């Protein structure tokens, strides 16, 4: 092969190689562009799917803020607020019943009519006697473990079935080892013949247990040989209860939470309680 032919062949081969490299570069650019477009389209879809899965695995969070006032007291712990995480996950009927009353302001002005040292504080009675109820009752869910300090549950009377929820509720303020608190966890035979707890579960205090303990400190001292008294020595009331779903307040008229109520009550206001003399009280009916 002549030198001229050899040079021509080398030139042709170089041209072919350059064309191949150019095609490869174009192909690479197109592939990168496609990947970029795919990323733009897919990422939002992945995010949406992730949010849907997250919402499915993380149910709504329900909370309550119980603001209280005590006669003659100006500076209460946590600004007088007892914050409660409502246990919708395990007690939806119970929580829905509680929200139904609270969102419509039906607890506003009610007294903490029953206060027992190292045991509970109790409210939700429109009469303040310990025997009243706002309206119809429902069957609430029972807990799966013993009652503890800070638990919030429904009070029942002697004729109620375990888990009955009227409008009266209590907050456990006694220590877990206290005799009264241990007695709360005593199981009884249910209609199906199985042993169960008695008091429908609502939720747990997450902040402001010191406020509940302040109310508990109003418990009258037991006199030797006398029947235990439970009417607080100073009036303490629920100024109001606000309930929330994922931080958004559930307000009056929300149809998802109808109140099973037939009566209302009007109690003393915050101004009535602050800087006034403690009234003479009598024992509440147990």
Q: Is the pLDDT of residue 231 over 80?
A: yes
Instruction: Place 12 in a pLDDT band, splitting at 50, 70 and 90.
Output: low
Q: What is the pLDDT of residue 236?
A: 98
Q: What is the pLDDT of residue 46?
A: 54
Residues 121, 215 contacting (CB under 8 angstroms): yes
The full DSSP string for 48-81 is HHHHHHHHHHS---EEEEEEEEETT----GGGGE
Q: What is the pLDDT of residue 261?
A: 43
Instruction: Place 285 in a pLDDT band, splitting at 50, 70 and 90.
Output: very low
Q: What is the pLDDT of residue 274?
A: 39
- The better pLDDT of the pair 3, 50 is held by 3
Ordered by start, the domain boundaries in the chain are 1-56, 59-273
Instruction: List, for residues 250-281, the tens digit of each pLDDT value.
Output: 999 888 887 654 433 333 333 343 332 322 22
**What integer is the mean pLDDT of 1-6?**
65
Q: What's the CATH code, domain 59-273?
A: 2.40.100.10
Q: What is the pLDDT of residue 139?
A: 94
Beta strand extents in the chain (DSSP E only): 62-70, 81-86, 114-116, 120-123, 138-139, 151-154, 164-165, 169-172, 188-189, 195-196, 201-207, 236-245, 248-249
Instruction: List, for residues 159-185, the tens digit of each pLDDT value.
Output: 889 999 999 999 999 999 999 999 999
Q: What percent of the chain has pLDDT over 70?
A: 75
Q: What is the pLDDT of residue 226?
A: 47
Instruction: List, for residues 121-152, the tens digit of each pLDDT value.
Output: 999 999 998 899 998 899 999 999 999 999 99
Q: What is the pLDDT of residue 54?
A: 47
Instruction: List, for residues 81-107, the tens digit of each pLDDT value.
Output: 999 999 999 999 999 999 999 999 999
Q: Is the pLDDT of residue 234 over 80?
A: yes
Say what the pTM is. 0.72
Phi-psi region of 24 (alpha: psi -120 to 50; beta: other; left: phi over 0): alpha
């Amino acid at each position: 092969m002549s030198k001229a032919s050899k040079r021509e062949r080398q030139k042709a081969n170089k041209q072919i190689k350059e064309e191949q490299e150019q095609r490869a570069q174009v192909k690479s650019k197109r592939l990168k562009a496609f990947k970029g477009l795919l990323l733009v389209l897919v990422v939002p879809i992945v995010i949406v799917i992730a949010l849907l899965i997250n919402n499915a695995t993380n149910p709504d969070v329900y909370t309550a803020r119980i603001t209280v006032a005590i006669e003659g007291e100006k500076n209460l712990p946590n600004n007088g607020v007892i914050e409660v995480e409502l246990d919708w996950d395990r007690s939806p009927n119970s929580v829905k019943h509680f929200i139904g009353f609270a969102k419509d302001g039906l607890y506003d002005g009610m007294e903490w009519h029953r206060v027992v040292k190292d045991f509970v504080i109790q409210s939700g009675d429109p009469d303040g006697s310990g025997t009243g109820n706002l309206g119809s009752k429902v069957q609430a869910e029972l807990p799966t473990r013993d009652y503890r300090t800070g638990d919030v549950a429904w009070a029942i009377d002697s004729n109620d079935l375990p888990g009955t929820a009227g409008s009266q509720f209590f907050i456990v303020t006694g220590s877990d080892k206290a005799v009264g608190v241990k007695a709360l966890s005593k199981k009884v035979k249910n209609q199906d013949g199985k042993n169960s707890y008695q008091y429908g579960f609502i939720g747990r205090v997450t902040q402001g247990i010191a406020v509940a303990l302040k109310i508990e400190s109003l418990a009258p001292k037991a006199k030797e040989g006398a029947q235990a008294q439970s009417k607080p020595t100073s009036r303490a009331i629920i100024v109001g209860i606000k309930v929330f779903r994922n931080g958004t307040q559930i307000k009056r008229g929300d149809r998802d939470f109808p109140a099973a109520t037939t009566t209302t009550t009007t109690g003393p206001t915050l101004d009535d309680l602050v800087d006034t003399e403690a009234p003479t009280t009598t024992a509440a009916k147990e």
